[in-house]
Amino acid sequence: MHKRIFVFITSFILISLIFSNVAKATTYTVQSGDSLWKIASEHDVSLERLINKNKLMSTVIHPGKVLTIPDQDVYYVQQGDTLYRISQKFEVSLSQLIKSNPQIEAPSKIYVGQPINLPIDQQPKLIYSGDTDEKKVALTFDDGPEDLYTPKILEILKDKNVKATFFVVGKQVEEFPEMLKKIHNEGHSIGNHTWGHNNIKQLTDDQIIQNVQQTTAAIEHVIGEETILFRPPYGAFQDQQADVLYNQGYTSVMWSVDTNDWSGATANEVLTRTHQNISPGGIVLQHNFKVPGRLDGTVKALPKMIDQLREKGYEFVTVDELIKN
């Protein structure tokens, strides 16, 4: 009798152990220099699922934190599927799908029930303009928020029903949180432009990481959302620094149209430069910093710029939307 009980208990413990092992999800301990994006891409899961799985309130993660890694994004082949049809179904390119599935020897030989890894969205590392032939353009404003030019720019954008992208400086966010909230509430995108408008060429990798994390934390504190966009002040940049930022989850955003507005250019000069350099997927660089008089040309040119670009057939998008293209 005792033996039976012993066998029963032992079996129970063994079975529990086996099942607990099977059910145990993969975990990962955050290392120094990690970003959520890097962890997600190394484990072939989407950033969104990683965030949801771990109920994260912020994308800023600290070394030593233990994350649960969700299962890979897998699709099981159904009757009538081809790789092409699967790529269409999930809106990924066929070549991306093939690249994510090195186990498939010949694309024509897939079978019902076969697991297919779905590629996660590929975020670009560095862009100067959108990768599109469509007449889309993104207006961008750097160095805010502040309370001199930002309200005027916002009013024009609202009046013209245009959504733009604002690359903000952490220190300014701290000083003008309500203005950042207003920008966000009016539907514009927010990007990271360092904490103190720093030339990142002069910073070490660790300093860059610290700087962008601090800035993004300030942005998140105000609007409750992360940003994946980064623009280096002065456009100053070393190639390898784009990798550092990419590993932190950022796409570095340059521009294809420099209005030169920061120099105090007149409205006509701003419009001429835009007209000469615009192309599909264009990213227009403008500013909203607080130097009285200096950006009068920007404000004066803006309604005309919007009208002229619309006349040429352009549609206004945020940089986020341009990247998703």
Which are the catalytic amino acids? 142, 287
- Report the nearest approach of Ni ion to the CB of residue 47 (Å): 27
Nearer residue to Ni ion within complex by CB, 289 or 314: 289
Least Å distance, CB 96 to Ni ion, is 34
Pick 142 or 146: Cβ nearer Ni ion: 142
DSSP three-state, residue 251: strand
For Ni ion, which residue of 142, 226, 261, 320 counts as binding (CB under 5 A)? 142
Applying CB under 5 A, the span of 128-136, 211-219, 231-239, 247-255 interacting with Ni ion comes to: 231-239
Strands 257-258 and 282-287: parallel
Return the residues of window 147-186 that contact Ni ion according to CB under 5 A: none
Q: Which two tokens stand for residue 281?
A: 């997927």
* Cα distance between residue 66 and residue 284, in whole Å: 41
Q: Does 232 bind Ni ion (CB under 5 A)?
A: no
Instruction: State the Cα torsion 244-133-163-289 to the nearest 10°.
Output: 50
CB of 98 or CB of 148, closer to Ni ion: 148
| Minimum gap (Å) between residue 261 Cβ and Ni ion | 11
CB atoms within 10 A of CB 178: 10
| 70, 119, 233, 249: residue in contact with Ni ion (rule CB under 5 A) | 233
By CB under 5 A, residue 143 contacts Ni ion: yes
How far apart, in whole angstroms, are the C-alpha atoms of residue 52 and residue 67? 11
- Closer residue to Ni ion, CB minimum distance, 118 or 164: 164
Nearer to Ni ion, 83 or 212 (CB): 212
234-258: b (≥16 Cβ within 10 Å) or e:
eeebeeebbebbbbbbbbbbbbbbb
Q: Which is nearer to Ni ion, 130 or 233 (CB)?
A: 233
d(Cα 30, Cα 67) in Å, to the nearest integer? 7
Q: Which stretch binds Ni ion (CB under 5 A): 69-77, 83-91, 146-154, 226-234?
A: 226-234
By beta carbon distance, the residue nearest Ni ion is 142
Whether 268 contacts 59, CB under 8 Å: no
Residue with tokens 């100053």: 236
In the complex, least distance from residue 53 CB atom to Ni ion, rounded to whole angstroms: 36
Least separation in angstroms between residue 95's CB and Ni ion is 37
Kindly indicate which of the ranges 44-52, 116-124, 129-137, 138-146 contains the residues binding Ni ion, using the contact rule CB under 5 A: 138-146
Both structure tokens of 62? 């600290």
Q: How far is the CB of 128 from Ni ion (least distance, A)?
A: 16
Give 121: exposed, middle or buried? Use CB within 10 Å, 0-12, 13-18, 19+: middle
The site that binds Ni ion (CB under 5 A) totals a number of residues, namely: 3
Using CA atoms, how far apart are residues 98 and 84, in angstroms rounded to an integer? 10
Q: Are 191 and 165 in contact (CB under 8 A)?
A: yes
- Interface contacts to Ni ion, rule CB under 5 A: 142-143, 233
